[in-house]
Structure 1
Amino acid sequence: MTRVRLHALDSRPDGGEWIVGRMATGRFVALPEVGKQALDLLAQGLSAAEVEERLREATGDDIDVPDFVEALVGLGFVAEVDGREVPAPAPPRPTLARIRPRHVRWVLSPVVPFLIGLLIAVALLTRPPVPLSYHTLLWSPHGSAVIALGAGVGWTLLLLHECAHLLAARATGVPGRMRLGTRLQFLVMQTDISGIELAPRRHRLTAYLAGIATNLTVASVAALSAGATHGTPRRILAAVALLALLPLPFQLMVFMRTDLYFVLQDVTRCRDLYGDGVAYAKYAVRRLPGRHRARAVDPSRELPAHERRAVRAYSVVLVVGTTLCLAFLATVTLPADVTLFARAVTRLGPGHSAAQRLDSAAVVVALGGVHLLWARTWWRNRRARKVSEVSRGTSRR
């Protein structure tokens, strides 16, 4: 292995390191200064031996460039080795690929958050009739109408929320992909905006907070509109405003990598707050009495001081939050679902009216379908993560 041709790579300095990666595939790594120098020399067409000699003269250290090149191949950064093409799967297609950065560049304007803040302030100051009570959601005496509005508005808001992330990232040149995912027992829609790491901090925070801003905007518009109407339209708009606000407390659950988690990770200047937090939590468990303490090595020792403090604090939030969520799943959600499912199955047989059987069938299909979709999504993403980990080796994102 002497000479390589690299794919088009993007990079930006980040403290004493460089963030480098391919925007098309969403793979990025943090390289030290010497790694960036080696990458630049390889991009100039120098052989591995020539790069080693240049780096030895510049740093006085022996750098294993062939191993570095192998890592680059595993990351998918290398297009050719000694004139031979490196086989690699085609980059995944972006969601809403026809939307170009120039179409949504206005999203990054400082005027946008100012206008959203002004709208929220007006909605708060005018005190529109939107009581934060479950009675607001029960806007109609017809349960089917309440459920239909909740489902329609809920899914619409979910798509708008994720599209806001996608468009804010697309404005910076990041392709972005939307897909289903899981967060503990929750089935969620998520947007992969890998590559936003290369954008300026203000643009990164804009992409992370775009979904929350969308929910607040919808809630403010609906609340103001409710204040200008009467009767059923007012009740419907008030319900829409509350439905837009309901997902926001979920964002505080940063132990599940919500939108605010990425804000926290960026503000604390951590590379992988969740991954390092999980590693430190496992280390802390191994340090408990009765464990093999001598074998436990603190994984946070290699991190910078500011990152080490953030990771240790986050690991506490991670363990406590995850424990509470799983405890709620075991004591409330699963028993309720199993009871409801079993009751529905028993009413599918003879001896029950057609209406009861129809209702039970709807419960079985809806409840079973949601759980099957969660399981399928979890398994698919788990396999994808394993493949990604194998191809990326031990490189840190």
Structure 2
Amino acid sequence: MITGTSRVILHQLRTRPTGDSVIVGRLETGEVVELPPSGARVIEHLGRGLTVAETARLIAAETGEDVDVASFVTALTQFGFVARVDGSEVPGPIPRRPALPWITPRRAAWSLNPLLPWAVAALAGTAAVTMTVDPSLAPGYQSLFWSPYGSLVLLAVFGVGWPLVFLHELAHLVTARATGVPAYLELGTRLQFLVAQTDMSGIELAPRRHRLTAYLSGMAVNLIAACLAILTAATFEQASPWRLALQALALLALLPLAWQFLINMRTDLYYVLQDLTGSADLYADGLSYTRHLTHRVLHPRQDPPPTDPTLDLPPGQRRAARLYSAVLMTGTTLCLAALIFITAPADLTLLIHAVRQLGPDHGTLERLDGATVVLLLGGSQALWARTKWRQWRRRTTRT
């Protein structure tokens, strides 16, 4: 029970002003909320040891607003911000154990050095000049087909691609950890895609340069790997197998950069766009507006017409949400079309060919090749299904 005489002890919270509001969050759990300035003042006064009633009177004197501080504290407990009320411990979410705990903010501080982006740009410029002088260094899709056996090609893609994915996510984790955010590595799904991702909940509380560095650090790692591979390949003769292998490595490092432009699936560039537009949740706003438009098309004669959910947003965020809704609809349609007409037929063809290789009319190497393809394709799809199920169950439980 929260009464006027209650004294509230809050967990360690961090705040950041943004526009006409204040972002408040608890880094240990990743919970972040956006409050009006008066809400932030309530938290500040409660943190000084004032009672609920004393805080309400002080807020009324400062702002002229009549704030129901008791209800506000009750709401804060639902976010896990309240540690004790009148000496009694308040149950809340248990902080997750951060991944790779030995990466402390002090050890990761170098990742926020402002000179690093310039160093990456210099490396990329050097690689671009090198490929201009010797165009044969530019990696093409032919670089991947270095063996007639599909299993060896897939093994190389998995063997090189997933370590690159880990380094990409590790860069997010290191830069987030440098800002004090715990960060967690996990698997996720984006439509039909299985992805590795870094939960950086709480990064919204960091300064903008640090936030953008955390969002773009993974792409920077891919770019660095590709540039180093190209510059190293330039030291080998054109017919050298090492040159071909390094070109394949560069291609595998560059391909994920194209994926980042699919902002309809909340990639790294999506979070950059969301930050630059000042939106709290651009995906949710765009999805809400998309559903609104769909409802209007399906029910054109509804009276009164449904209310536009973006009208409550500031003008800049409203425009961003409406534009993003078009990107969301177009991108999702194209991705699903690619699945139906390109990816699924290609995977099915490769799988059928692999199953046929398991027959008695084929040699040991061909059977091994077919078994490897079946295991890789089937295993990746099974992992996608398992991850999708876990995400759905976690979302349902949280709701």
Q: TM-score, normalised by structure 1?
A: 0.91
- Distance between the aligned counterparts of 1:326 and 1:33, measured in 2? 43
Letter in 2 for 1:4: V
Question: Which one of the candidate residues 53, 56, 59 is aligned to 2:57?
Answer: 53
Question: Which one of the candidate residues 253, 259, 264 is aligned to 2:273?
Answer: 264
Corresponding residue of 2:385? 375
**SS at 1:87's partner residue?**
coil
Q: 1:371 to 1:36 in 2, by over 3 A?
A: same
Q: 1:146 to 1:217 in 2, by over 3 A?
A: same
**SS at 1:294's partner residue?**
coil
Question: Which one of the candidate residues 257, 261, 264 is aligned to 1:252?
Answer: 261
**SS at 1:252's partner residue?**
coil
- Distance between the aligned counterparts of 2:27 and 2:98, measured in 1? 11
- Distance between the aligned counterparts of 1:105 and 1:206, measured in 2? 12
- Distance between the aligned counterparts of 2:223 and 2:357, measured in 1? 43
Q: 1:335 to 1:31 in 2, by over 3 A?
A: same
Corresponding residue of 1:119? 123
Corresponding residue of 1:80? 84
Corresponding residue of 1:200? 207
Superposed CA RMSD in Å reads 2.2
- Distance between the aligned counterparts of 1:366 and 1:139, measured in 2? 19
- Distance between the aligned counterparts of 1:36 and 1:169, measured in 2? 24
Question: Which one of the candidate residues 221, 225, 233 is aligned to 2:228?
Answer: 221
Q: Is 1:62 aligned to residue 66 of structure 2?
A: yes
Question: Which one of the candidate residues 277, 280, 286 is aligned to 2:289?
Answer: 280
Letter in 2 for 1:125: V
* Deviation sequence 1:314-354 (CA, Å, 0-9, x none): 11000110111112223333344456556766887x86657
* Deviation sequence 1:287-314 (CA, Å, 0-9, x none): 1153436251111111111110111101
Corresponding residue of 2:308? 298
Q: 1:78 to 1:237 in 2, by over 3 A?
A: same
Letter in 2 for 1:282: R
Alignment of 1:20-169 (within 5 A): 20-127=24-131, 128=134, 129-140=136-147, 144-169=151-176
**SS at 2:194's partner residue?**
strand
Q: TM-score, normalised by structure 2?
A: 0.90
**SS at 1:174's partner residue?**
coil
**SS at 1:5's partner residue?**
strand
Corresponding residue of 1:394? none
- Residues 95 and 176 of structure 1 are in contact (CA less than 8 Å); yes or no, is this contact kept in structure 2? yes
Corresponding residue of 1:11? 15
- Distance between the aligned counterparts of 2:343 and 2:148, measured in 1? 27
Question: Which one of the candidate residues 175, 178, 182 is aligned to 2:182?
Answer: 175
Q: Is 1:317 aligned to residue 333 of structure 2?
A: no
- Distance between the aligned counterparts of 1:136 and 1:342, measured in 2? 25
- Distance between the aligned counterparts of 1:357 and 1:221, measured in 2? 37
User: 1:51 Cα deviation (Å)?
Assistant: 2.1
Task: Determine what percentage of the aligned residue pairs are the same residue.
Answer: 51
- Distance between the aligned counterparts of 1:346 and 1:227, measured in 2? 41
- Residues 108 and 177 of structure 2 are in contact (CA less than 8 Å); yes or no, is this contact kept in structure 1? yes
* Deviation sequence 1:144-183 (CA, Å, 0-9, x none): 5443332221111111111111111111111111100001
- Distance between the aligned counterparts of 1:368 and 1:151, measured in 2? 14
User: 1:203 Cα deviation (Å)?
Assistant: 1.1
**SS at 1:246's partner residue?**
helix
User: 1:381 Cα deviation (Å)?
Assistant: 1.7
- Distance between the aligned counterparts of 1:41 and 1:101, measured in 2? 29
